[in-house]
A and B are shown apart, each in its own frame.
Chain A
């Protein structure tokens, strides 16, 4: 108690001092925090990136390669109350019996209420390597497979090879979310660099860069993607295809950003601090990238955030068309490709679970981007 009282007057001046030295970004953060919708979007995205990109091994009950006998099984019902009407605090699933209708050739699964498998949280399952080097076998949830290999929990059903669809969605999210982020980082790099150079020097350089962006923008996007994607040799490894696809997506995307950055630089370069930097002996590149570029950063962040969904969708669309990523890689587009037949929609409608994940991601990005735009605009009234 005495300690708390003593520390009180010490804490107050230091926090006050911090407020005096507040930078632009801390003000932005303060404003951003008050925008509920944007914060929710941000939290969703952080959750998605952590669980899908960094540690899907832990959050998914199985490994990606884990196949089972339960092909095209629907989502496993999760129970709290057993046949005898007894309530269990720990949810459980029943074992499943497969029957095949030999007339229609369709599989149906019936719950076998004699076999009960409680769902384990943080239980042991498929071994994996966390971040590629920490060997672990703990999963967020799952059923005990060691005692009964027949036990399985399929939160969102399974595919034709009996793989857990939810696991596939998580691993698919890894590639789809990463392609958006990596592609956008490359877009920012190309777009801002070329935009700054274009705006700062003007003249012939400007003409060249701007006409190039116009040329790229004049192309219909999907055919351009198709042409570029079709140029990828089929014998390349899926990983190489992935990187090439990222480069293609950012190659098409940098033009708009370069144009916006150029416009901002055109006005910023007339500011007196550009002249002051020059008169202090700064070189052109120093003026461009140290003095002028930071002034465009708030716009770039917003534009980039709002453009990431476009990249994720582009990957999805290309893969769905069969031009982007291909199995054995798993991305949301690849999963959609699997689900894109009438037969799949009829027999395995749970494969459409991919769609809400895509929609939520896109919405979250838009919510976040909108909030950032409001927070970064110091003259905004909202």
Chain B
């Protein structure tokens, strides 16, 4: 346990001086702020028009602005994360291999799983720090709505964000463990996230077995129910198995570093 914490601590302090984190986190925050602002303005405008129509004699259409804005915003956040999270983990192992510090870790009295989980938890922590400011936006919006929508919508939505993020981070770590070059690792993860995204489009056009299978693989397909505040068991299992599988593979990749190195 102490070994795991040592690795976690080292990774966190690394993130706080790493240029990658300082590039990725602000870009994410700027993009999410701009889009949140846009969706909120649209939502307010739409609800204003609706109430105008109501005063002109039509029936008032019940229109839940905060939930609609939350849904649109989190959908977009999911897409941004697909592109940005791979950048966070592309160096976690490749950097260590290139610098030769993997040799230090692998000859120290810590187990492979302490290394792998320490690094994974650290990347998830950084991810949480990155998305935390956006929680403020939606909490503020909900708190100022009349009537206040159920908070579980936010909880469910952000559970989805966390699962999506952790999945991408776990896949990213695994690919980083495969190569000494972090750019290669980054491109590989980006490719895989794109693939998991794009299959969703193809899946939408067909009805056969292939389309159904693709639909199951498409990552945002499982993310969307969470966005609507639904905690979907299929989604939990989907993300859970991706995370577990990727961490398991990372463990094997770290172990294999001992065997491959000539």
Q: A and B: real partners? A: no
Question: Residues of B with Cβ closer than 8 Å to A?
Answer: none
Question: Residues of A with Cβ closer than 8 Å to B?
Answer: none
